Amino acid sequence: MDFDIQNLIRPHLKNLTPYASARSEFTGSARVWLDANENAYGTPGSDTAQSYHRYPDPYQKKLKVRIGELKGLSTDQIFLGNGSDEAIDLLIRIFCQPGIDNVVTLPPTFGMYEVAASVNDVAVHSAPLLPDYQLDRDAVASAIDSHTKIIFFCSPNNPTGNLLNPDEIRFFLDSFQGIVVVDEAYIDFSDQPSFIAELKSHPNLVVLHTFSKAWGMASLRLGAAFASTEIINLLNRVKLPYNISTLNQEVALNILLNKDQYQVSINQIIQQREWLANSLNSLEVVHKVHHSDANFLLVKFEDAPDLYQFLVKLGVIVRNRSTVRLCEGGLRITVGTESENQALVKAIHQFENQHLKKSRIA
């Protein structure tokens, strides 16, 4: 494949001089820091050991070393953002000319691709998934035109929960001249290897991971893009200088040392996913529990909107996807703790009893 990143970048970014933060201009060792207009007296009310008066490391070097160890990558193949949402937005801003270029998405899928494109005045070409939620090669091929810069594949896909066929993704990695994003936010819950292994052979690949799901850091806001150093350099040039706070960098680094506990919680979630799927399958109001490689289930119900409202009244909140094409009648249910899952099944049981009573009367 003939891939030339220079043909893809928005022209005005080719010669962009990025903001040079005080700290990134300096190399060597320092004794006195008077370069960044910080408050040298510290953070009011904090002791020196826990002070936030210095700007964070703009390139999160220590955190990237740990993430590199976990993912088998060098630090220059890693971009870290305020959630992987930040990487989605930056990729669109780097490669797509507003009002001219477009991206391809495969609905039903994660909504941020479309939102980020629309915010940037970038058109979205849809290539709907097939009824079995697999990607439709012909639909993707016909959604691509000469102004398509990015294809977003989400695998495992949100909200359907399934992995996309990797060979179908590879087909576009090999044949599409633009950027292929494989969003693997939920890959930790599947038994399929990550596309990270394919970065070496595919300069147009960007793999997105998030620490909001399996790593349990949703409130910290930390996501990653893995790609060639060329693409990572572009992301670093366009991002805001201090996009991850010192506090978040430190806390995330500590959390990422707990690999054993991370694995234990994944095993628990997978086990609960099976329990929940089996329990739901035994209910009459359940039409279908879709196979999931993620930490949620897409479940089709007899009367999803009513059930959704019933659950809300009981304080049990799931995601109503019943009006989304191909998800009709569907609620997306995150796998919770054992007791949360039991509470959910009990509540649906209650709904079922009322529902059946009503239909008997009618």
Site residues, ligand PLP (CB under 6 A): 83-85, 110, 154, 158, 183, 185, 210, 212, 218, 223
- For ligand PLP, give the closer residue by CB, 105 or 322: 105
Shortest Cβ 31–ligand PLP spacing (Å): 38
- Name the residue nearer to ligand PLP (CB basis): 215 or 308: 215
Nearest residue to ligand PLP, using CB? 83
Nearer of residues 154 and 311 to ligand PLP, judged by Cβ: 154
Rounded to whole angstroms, the Cα distance separating 2 from 295 reads 37
Of 262 and 310, CB closest to ligand PLP: 262
319 Cβ contact list (under 8 Å, min separation 6): 159, 331, 332, 333, 334
The two tokens of residue 198 are: 């394919």
Q: How far is the CB of 311 from ligand PLP (least distance, A)?
A: 20
- Using only C-alpha atoms, the chain has a radius of gyration, in whole angstroms, of 23
Question: Between residues 58 and 81, which has the closer beta carbon with respect to ligand PLP?
Answer: 81
Report the nearest approach of ligand PLP to the CB of residue 146 (Å): 28
Residue 288: beta bridge partners?
300
Q: How far is the CB of 291 from ligand PLP (least distance, A)?
A: 17
Query: Residue 205 forms beta bridges with which residues?
Result: 180
| Closest separation in Å from C-beta 306 to ligand PLP | 26
Q: If DSSP codes are grouped into helix, strand and coil, which group holds residue 79?
A: strand
Beta-carbon count within 10 A of 234 CB? 24
**Residue 237 Rama label (left phi>0; alpha psi -120 to 50; beta):** alpha
Residue tagged 């693997």 (tokens):
184
Among residues 305, 302, 294, the alpha carbon closest in space to that of 333 is found at 294
Taking the least distance from each CB to ligand PLP, the nearer of 232 and 252 is 252
Query: For ligand PLP, which is the closer residue by CB, 330 or 355?
Result: 330
Kindly report the length of the chain: 362
CA distance 214 to 237: 29
Q: Least distance in Å: CB of 254 to ligand PLP?
A: 19
What's the min distance (Å) between Cβ of 84 and ligand PLP? Answer: 4
Where do we find the tokens 């234990």?
A: 264
